[in-house]
């Protein structure tokens, strides 16, 4: 298998991104949210992939992950990797790419949030040097209550 390649997303990526989101979401959340992502929602992702800072990761021409850096807020707004691809460096490559974009946008500290019961991603971020800020936000999504833990990473120049 070839190396992972991170590139800017385009409109043709909406379907593959929707599939990755559904598979990764089911793998990460089903134990505490149930089956909220039964099918990929391609129309939802058609506009999202056009957003500034939206990146996809490909391996052998197949989209296997995606992430988005929000330069306006200094946040890693999204980061999802297909479960079959996890543990192969794809998440690390995407995280590095979005952090580089935030640094280039002038941020000296990046932030992200993830559901507090989301043990795998939390461990991934902590291994990458991210630390909980102590902030916790609550919101409703798909009829479920979420508690999201905020993380931060200093971005030395």
Q: What is the DSSP letter of 8?
A: E
pLDDT confidence of residue 61: 95
What is the per-residue pLDDT across 56-111, written as a single tens digit (0 to 9) for each? 999 999 999 999 999 999 999 999 999 999 999 999 999 999 999 999 999 999 99
The residue segments making up the domain with residue 127 are: 4-154
Q: How far apart are the first and last CA of the chain?
A: 34
Cα angle value 23/26/28 (rounded, 5°): 105
**pLDDT-based confidence at residue 13 (cuts at 50, 70, 90):** very high
Number of domains in the chain: 1
d(C-alpha 65, C-alpha 58), whole Å: 7
Among 87, 77, 75, 26, which residue's Cα sits nearest to residue 49? Answer: 77
Q: Which CATH number do you get for residue 90?
A: 3.40.630.30
pLDDT confidence of residue 17: 95
Read off the tokens for 156: 């030395």
**The pLDDT of residue 39 is above 90:** no
User: Average of pLDDT values for 34-51?
Assistant: 77
């Amino acid at each position: 298998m070839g190396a992972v390649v991170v590139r800017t997303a385009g409109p043709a990526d909406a379907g593959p991104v929707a599939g990755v989101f559904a598979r990764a979401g089911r793998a990460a959340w089903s134990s505490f949210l149930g089956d909220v992502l039964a099918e990929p929602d391609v129309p939802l992702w058609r506009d999202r992939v056009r957003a500034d800072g939206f990146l996809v990761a490909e391996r052998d021409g197949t989209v296997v992950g995606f992430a988005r850096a929000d330069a306006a807020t200094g946040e890693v707004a999204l980061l999802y990797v297909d479960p079959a691809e996890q543990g192969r460096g794809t998440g690390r490559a995407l995280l590095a790419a979005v952090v580089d974009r935030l640094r280039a946008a002038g941020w000296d500290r990046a932030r992200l949030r993830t559901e507090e019961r989301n043990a795998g991603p939390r461990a991934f971020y902590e291994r990458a040097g991210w630390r909980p800020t102590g902030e916790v936000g609550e919101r409703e999504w798909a009829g479920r209550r979420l508690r999201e833990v905020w993380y931060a990473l200093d971005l030395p120049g």
